[in-house]
Structure 1
Amino acid sequence: MKLKVCGMKYVENLQSVAQLQPDYLGFIFYEQSPRNFEGVIPEIPKTIKKTGVFVNEFIEILVSLVQEYKLEAIQLHGDETIEYIQEIKSHLKNVEIIKVFGIKDDFDFSILESYKDEVDYFLFDTKGKERGGNGVKFDWLVLKKYPYQKPFFLSGGIGPNDIEEIKKIKNSGLPIHTVDINSRFEIEPGVKNIKLIKKFKNEFKGL
């Protein structure tokens, strides 16, 4: 199981997070987000996959940003269609595609059927007023109904004290690939609490 730290914004802070060697670092390219990333991504370890988070972005802009920042994964957080994803794949090679779906109290997993052969991973986040970063968990028991073997990222309000609950999901046999942390590990939007992440990562390694 892998760890993603999302919502990186400031160079010095992201360098400190990168020293902790998460598997993914997420950069949000969405102007309405308080964690919208602009600027330069410094050199980080090659073991960390730079992930761009996009919301209904024009394909030309998305492709341009992937190439500019040498992103290795893209996370689609909007209402992107199958056709949209296929178009992206015609322009980009060797880039992981993660499609996000918001969950509240229940979810119709059948809507994933047409996506599962087009994306590398699903990501399940809490359905809220913002496109992510709400700091609230959905009911993880809903995942018991997940019918596929397609691996997924778990996101949405995950905090420092959730290790045992994450362990339960892993031990249930669900194909959880990555745990995605963000707002509950922040001092302010885009500024991560390094001590909290380090402690969480150390506990996470033992799962």
Structure 2
Amino acid sequence: MKNPENISKVARLQPDYMGFIFYKKTPRHFDAEIPEIPSKIKKTGVFVNEAIDVILEKVKKHDLNAIQLHGEESAAFCAELKILFTQTPVEIIKVFSANDDFDFKLLKDFENVIDYFLFDTKGKNKGGNGITFNWEILKNYPSNRPFFLSGGIGPQEVEEIKELQTYFLKKGKDNLLYAIDVNSKFEDQPGQKNIENLEGFLKEFN
């Protein structure tokens, strides 16, 4: 999210999370004040290989409820943040770029120091590539840690998402696919969401 008016309009749709990108090398870079939005919406700061003190400053300034780490942050880095967030709970979402050769063993060291994993499409950009990866690989997901599904998700992926939900439900793991992260396929321009398209997408899951 980027434009205050657009932020307020999206907030009326009551998403569970709303993302604000504090990575300067993207047209979606957020450098403004977040307008007042319902407290049930978790304000999420997106960072890429950022210093801990900068993350803490943004968390305090914008009263963030979650952070999404989209770079090469280590498990030790996440563990340090988790300790710092003990008094003021802030969810930690660690992003992994996935393709057909993704090694799920990479997740092991992060298991106990993050709240959620997020799987995005491996591409030339740090997110926002606008393409999906092969979700079939998620059927080999070895963890019990819930995850966000991201990467080029648009209205045309609704049935595939429901199929993946059904797969985990049949396995008795219906809580694993925790959230759907949508972005570029719902934008009129970077950071500017199309409200009508978002409304239609949400109705598919209600």
Offset from partner CA, 1:139-189 (integer Å, 9 cap, x none): 011111101111000000001121110001111115100000000000011
Once the two structures are aligned, what percentage of the paired residues are identical?
Answer: 54
Q: Give 1 or 2: higher helix fraction.
A: 2
- What corresponds to 2:33 in structure 1? 40
CA-CA distance at 1:33 after TM superposition: 1.1
Q: Secondary structure at the match of 2:204?
A: helix
CA-CA distance at 1:12 after TM superposition: 0.4
Residues 91-106 of structure 1: pairs in structure 2 closer than 5 A? 91-92=84-85, 93-106=88-101
1:166 has 2:161 as partner: yes
Aligned residues: 198
Distance across 2 between alignment mates of 1:112 and 1:13: 35
Q: Secondary structure at the match of 1:27?
A: strand
Query: What's the TM-score, normalizing by structure 2?
Result: 0.94
> Does the CA contact (< 8 Å) of 2:117 and 2:146 recur in 1?
yes
CA-CA distance at 1:86 after TM superposition: 1.7
Greater RCO, CA 8 A, separation 6+: 1
Offset from partner CA, 1:181-206 (integer Å, 9 cap, x none): 0000000111100000000011122x
- What corresponds to 1:109 in structure 2? 104
Query: What's the TM-score, normalizing by structure 1?
Result: 0.94
- What corresponds to 2:147 in structure 1? 152
> Does the CA contact (< 8 Å) of 2:82 and 2:114 recur in 1?
no
- What corresponds to 2:4 in structure 1? 11
Aligned AA (1:161): Q
- What corresponds to 1:69 in structure 2? 62
- What corresponds to 2:48 in structure 1? 55
- What corresponds to 1:24 in structure 2? 17
Over aligned residues, Cα RMSD in angstroms? 0.8
Unaligned runs of 5+ in 2: none
